[in-house]
Amino acid sequence: MPLNLSVFQEAVRAFEEKRTYSLSSLTGSSGALLFSMLKDPCLLLCSSESTAAEFFSDTLFWSQVLNNNPPVLIHPEGNTERPKSIAKLYGKDKRKYIASVEASLSTIWHKDEFPSFGVTQGLIMDRDEMVRNFLKYGYVTVPMVSGEGELSLRGGILDIFSPDKEQPVRIEFFGDEVESLRFFDIDTQLSDKEINHTLITPAIEPDNGQNLIDFLSENRLLVDEPDDIKRRYPELLETYQERKPFCLNSLMIEPEGLNIDINGVTGFGLLREERNTIDDFVERVSKLSRQYYILLVCSSEGQAKRLQDLFYDLNLKAPALTGSAALNHSRSPVIAIGELSGGFSYLNNIVLASSDIFGKRPAFKSIKKSRVSRLISSIEDFSEGDYLVHIEH
């Protein structure tokens, strides 16, 4: 028996047919599963940046196992990832977006005013004029490009890092003609993949424009935990009430909206605080799997392998599967690798996140890699006339 999605499929139909404007009892990561199943282009608002990031992370897992395109997370102003996410708003693809209220209220370019600049191999254009255009839209000149929004000019070579790209681009001129375009590595500064065309997007946001909610006026508007947003932004939902936002609630709200009866995972004897050892967990899963389809989401291959070995000791198979195979496997338990904020249960299905199984990991801050490592490790890109500085000076 594969994972039964009938409850969510009915909720999706209610959304598409506009039979209800509120869903309740969306516990754990079940709201992200529902959102990942929606096909209409829409915008989901969350009360805080941390909530938006968590919801987005959950949708990445569910989109992957459903074989659906993941949504785009719009970051708040000041976040280095914001320009990259904002640039996706101006593409031709109709997508789903997730944003905190703070991120959604910052000013962005109007649809017909987004200043992108196309550079194609063979383009005839004065190099200095091209640089002035880029400087006008927020780029800064540096000796060596190592981050988004930077450009460097060395003779007939222009390096530029557009915020929406994974790598910077090296534009090589022959006179006023663009002779070649290549991505290059910021650590080694060596040219990589040759391309025929690139689009350079702005490195700044406009002083005047419109916010994300107005920009996506044709998209369905969804609100996660509307009561939280009302407390923090009391005027927001009233302002956009004519949009009839679709509300997602974790608590059961009667008689408002549609209650899809999603429950937590307490009471099954599976949570870390409900058992003594991991062996107790394996034995409990073994018994419950006769009645429930159980999906175990591990955050690493190491965790998955550990569980598989423990189930093997009980002569129970627990395959580690990816994509739709994890949902459609005929027998449980099934292990999938990914990140989920929390599990949930409904009907005869149990979904457990890694934190439910092994406990929450202690929070830590990642150490940002020093720019010192991004030094030129080769002299292949130096040209005659370039300036060099001796290490002792």
Is the predicted pLDDT of residue 257 greater than 90, yes or no?
no
SS3 120: strand
Lowest mean pLDDT among 2-11, 85-94, 199-208, 365-374: 365-374
Give the single-character DSSP code of 89: G
pLDDT one-digit tens code per residue, 259-317: 989 999 999 999 999 999 989 999 999 999 999 999 999 999 999 999 999 999 888 88
Q: Please name which of 187, 169, 186 lies closest in space to residue 178, comparing C-alpha atoms.
A: 169
Q: pLDDT averaged over the chain?
A: 89
Q: What is the mean pLDDT of residues 64-91?
A: 92
pLDDT one-digit tens code per residue, 324-377: 898 888 888 999 999 999 999 999 999 999 999 998 765 544 444 444 344 443
Instruction: Report the distance separating Cα 197 and Cα 149, nearest Å.
Output: 19
CA atoms within 13 A on the CB side of 188: 8
Q: What is the mean pLDDT of residues 89-109?
A: 93
pLDDT one-digit tens code per residue, 189-231: 999 889 999 999 999 889 889 999 999 999 999 999 999 999 9
Which carries the bigger pLDDT value, residue 393 or residue 118? 118
Beta strand spans in 283-363 (E): 293-298, 334-337, 344-346, 349-352
- Dmax over CA atoms of the chain, in Å, equals 77
Is the predicted pLDDT of residue 58 greater than 80, yes or no?
yes
Question: Residue 119, exposed/middle/buried by CB under 10 A (0-12, 13-18, 19+)?
Answer: buried
Instruction: Report the distance separating Cα 293 and Cα 290, nearest Å.
Output: 8
Beta strand spans in the chain (E): 22-24, 42-46, 72-74, 97-100, 117-120, 140-141, 150-154, 157-160, 169-174, 177-184, 191-195, 197-200, 220-224, 246-248, 258-259, 293-298, 334-337, 344-346, 349-352
Domains of the chain: 6-109+207-259 (3.40.50.300), 113-204 (3.30.2060.10), 263-388 (no CATH)
Which carries the bigger pLDDT value, residue 239 or residue 211? 211
* pLDDT score of 357: 93
Is the predicted pLDDT of residue 392 greater than 80, yes or no?
no
Is the predicted pLDDT of residue 381 greater than 70, yes or no?
no
Residues in the chain: 393
* pLDDT score of 369: 45
pLDDT one-digit tens code per residue, 120-170: 999 999 999 999 999 999 999 999 999 999 999 999 999 999 998 999 999
Instruction: Report the distance separating Cα 101 and Cα 360, nearest Å.
Output: 27
* pLDDT score of 390: 60
